[in-house]
């Protein structure tokens, strides 16, 4: 299989390379692209691989079976549809196609049936929304959701290399905790701080990140009517997003029933006791659920704490799982790699 990766030098691109190796995806040729050429720019399976400036013409001439985009909305907008029209399967981490009614928004644990035989473009949903939906889907299937509210605690690597660099620079700076550093990836200093703005505001005061969480959660759960509200916050954590989730169920339930549902759910680790933190889950592919409890005097209003590695399950792992699902469905003439989950 010929696999192209646009954004091979970025944090999601690098994680996709690791997961292709881990899951023993049958990659015969890896074709790597970024914004500019680099000789021996990356390493795949222990060998250096050259990186080329991405363009539709260049990638099309390299004849990939699959193109992963882990770059920018601009690059996906410019190249993805043309490459899909040339016959490649496109798996895109940008937000470009996520809400396009022509394409499915697939999380293999949540809605694998959304994949149609003619689909060629597969957006990977927002990282916060993926972690949220892996936790919510089992409740929606078994009991039904009436409403969801979420407050997030999002890692700096969610803003890519620039986010990691911003935190590292502030940690090194003698002005740590001081005024806003010039050119930061964030709306306010991030070291020793929390920043309740990710993206720009819409007319109602939601940020772009909040709008993505709301709209993409509805699409992935197949519930355009679901009440979803979000406040998304950046915190000085390197990797893995945490979310405090408040959900209302369509009927009364118990902690025991929810525990049984989560314990049987794909892609989930349920913690009946204790806590789980970003440091605990960094580098893993599962969504961890802890502190499940009712709101006072209620059996329909519930709370839980969820944590997932957003670079992996929220982006790269989900992208590779989509490819594995397509391989298992016989969309490529190759042997399947490691088991899907
Ligand atoms: N970080 C996350 O947790 C996360 C989660 C979900 C989704 N995403 C999405 O995944 C994508 C990549 O994010 P990231 O965090 O990995 O960003 P990043 O660390 O900043 O890396 C961006 C990558 O894209 C390349 N690139 C930028 N503009 C390009 C262009 N016009 N043509 C070709 N390549 C280009 C960069 O190449 P150079 O090295 O040449 O600059 C780099 O390889 C984004 O769409 C982002 O929204 C990220």
pLDDT for 256 equals 98
CA 284 to centroid of ligand 1, rounded, Å: 21
Helix (H) or strand (E) holding 273: none
70 lines ligand 1 (CB under 6 A): yes
pLDDT for 335 equals 46
CA 11 to centroid of ligand 1, rounded, Å: 7
* Beta pairing, strands 89-92 & 66-69: parallel
Question: Structure tokens of 120?
Answer: 């060629």
Short-list 244, 245, 151, 135, CA closest to 198: 151
- In this prediction, residue 338 has a pLDDT band, given cuts at 50, 70 and 90, of very low
When pLDDT is averaged across residues 180-188 and rounded to a whole number, the result is: 87
**Nearest CA, atom 3, ligand 1:** 158
Question: Structure tokens of 296?
Answer: 């006072």
128 lines ligand 1 (CB under 6 A): no
Please indicate whether the domains covering 2-96+314-328 and 129-310 agree at the CATH topology level: no
CA 4 to centroid of ligand 1, rounded, Å: 14
When pLDDT is averaged across residues 7-21 and rounded to a whole number, the result is: 98
Q: 270 to each of 163, 297, 298, how far by Cα in Å?
A: 30, 23, 22
CA 105 to centroid of ligand 1, rounded, Å: 19
Give percent of the chain with pLDDT exceeding 90: 92
Residue among 6, 17, 35 whose CB has most ligand 1 atoms within 8 A, to mutate: 35
- How far is Cα 31 from Cα 302, in angstroms, rounded to an integer? 47
160 lines ligand 1 (CB under 6 A): yes
CA 6 to centroid of ligand 1, rounded, Å: 8
CB atoms within 10 A of CB 287: 28
The overall average pLDDT reported for the chain is 95
- In this prediction, residue 334 has a pLDDT band, given cuts at 50, 70 and 90, of low
Per-residue model confidence as pLDDT tens digits over 202-217: 889 999 999 999 999 9
51 lines ligand 1 (CB under 6 A): no
185 lines ligand 1 (CB under 6 A): no
Are the beta carbons of 294 and 301 closer than 8 angstroms? yes
67 lines ligand 1 (CB under 6 A): no
Answer whether residue 70 shows pLDDT above 70: yes
Catalytic residue positions, numbered: 127, 241
Residue extents of the structural domains in the chain? 2-96+314-328, 129-310
pLDDT for 137 equals 98
- How far is Cα 208 from Cα 21, in angstroms, rounded to an integer? 33
Answer whether residue 173 shows pLDDT above 50: yes
Answer whether residue 341 shows pLDDT above 50: no
pLDDT for 336 equals 44
pLDDT for 252 equals 98
Are the beta carbons of 334 and 327 closer than 8 angstroms? yes
Give domain 2-96+314-328's CATH superfamily: NAD(P)-binding Rossmann-like Domain (3.40.50.720)
Please give the model's pTM, rounded to 2 decimal places. Answer: 0.96
pLDDT for 340 equals 38
When pLDDT is averaged across residues 83-95 and rounded to a whole number, the result is: 97
SS (H, E, C) 200-246: CECCCCCEHHHHHHHHHHHHHHCCCCCEEEEECCECCCCCCEEEEEE
Residue among 7, 167, 183 whose CB has most ligand 1 atoms within 8 A, to mutate: 7
Per-residue model confidence as pLDDT tens digits over 259-272: 999 999 999 999 99
71 lines ligand 1 (CB under 6 A): yes
Per-residue model confidence as pLDDT tens digits over 214-232: 999 999 999 999 999 999 9
- Specify the CATH number of the domain 129-310: 3.30.360.10
Tell me the DSSP string of 119-172.
--EEEPPPHHHHHHHHHHHHHHHHT-EEEEEEEEEB-GGGGHHHHHHHHHHHHH
Q: Which of 78-82, 125-129, 168-172, 280-284 has the lowest mean pLDDT?
A: 168-172
| Three-state secondary-structure class, residue 87 | coil
Per-residue model confidence as pLDDT tens digits over 271-330: 999 999 999 999 999 999 999 999 999 999 999 999 999 999 999 999 999 999 999 999
- How far is Cα 318 from Cα 78, in angstroms, rounded to an integer? 23
324 lines ligand 1 (CB under 6 A): no
pLDDT for 337 equals 47
Helix (H) or strand (E) holding 22: helix 11-22
pLDDT for 255 equals 98
Answer whether residue 65 shows pLDDT above 80: yes
pLDDT for 181 equals 77
Per-residue model confidence as pLDDT tens digits over 120-145: 999 999 999 999 999 999 999 999 99
DSSP code of 12?
H
pLDDT for 333 equals 67
CA 7 to centroid of ligand 1, rounded, Å: 5
């Amino acid at each position: 299989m010929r696999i192209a990766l646009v954004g091979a030098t970025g944090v999601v691109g690098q994680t996709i390379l690791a997961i292709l190796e881990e899951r023993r995806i049958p990659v015969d040729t890896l074709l790597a692209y970024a914004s500019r050429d680099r000789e021996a720019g990356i390493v795949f399976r222990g060998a250096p691989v050259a990186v080329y400036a991405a363009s539709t013409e260049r990638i099309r001439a390299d004849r990939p079976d699959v193109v992963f985009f882990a770059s920018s909305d601009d690059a996906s907008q410019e190249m993805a549809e043309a490459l899909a029209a040339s016959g490649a399967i496109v798996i895109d981490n940008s937000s470009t196609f996520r809400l396009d009614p022509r394409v499915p928004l697939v999380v293999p644990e949540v809605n694998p049936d959304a994949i149609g035989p003619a689909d060629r473009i597969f957006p990977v949903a927002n990282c916060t929304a993926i972690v949220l939906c892996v936790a919510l889907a089992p409740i929606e299937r078994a009991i039904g959701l009436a409403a969801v509210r979420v407050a997030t605690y999002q890692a700096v690597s969610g803003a890519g290399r620039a986010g990691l660099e911003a935190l590292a620079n502030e940690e090194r700076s003698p002005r740590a905790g001081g005024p806003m550093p010039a050119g930061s990836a964030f709306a306010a200093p991030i070291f020793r701080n929390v920043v309740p703005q990710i993206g720009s505001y819409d007319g109602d005061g939601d940020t772009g990140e909040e709008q993505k969480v709301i709209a993409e959660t509805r699409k992935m759960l197949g519930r355009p009517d679901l009440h979803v509200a979000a406040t998304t916050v950046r915190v000085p954590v390197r990797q893995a997003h945490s979310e405090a989730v408040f959900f209302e169920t369509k009927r009364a339930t118990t902690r025991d029933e929810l525990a049984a549902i989560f314990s049987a759910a794909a892609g989930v680790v349920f913690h009946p006791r204790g806590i789980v933190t970003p440091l605990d889950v960094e580098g893993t592919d599962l969504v961890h659920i802890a502190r499940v409890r009712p709101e006072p005097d209620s059996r329909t209003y519930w709370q839980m704490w969820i944590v997932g590695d957003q670079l992996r399950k929220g982006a790269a792992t989900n992208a590779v799982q989509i490819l594995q699902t397509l391989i298992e469905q016989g969309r490529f003439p190759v042997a399947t790699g490691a088991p899907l989950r």
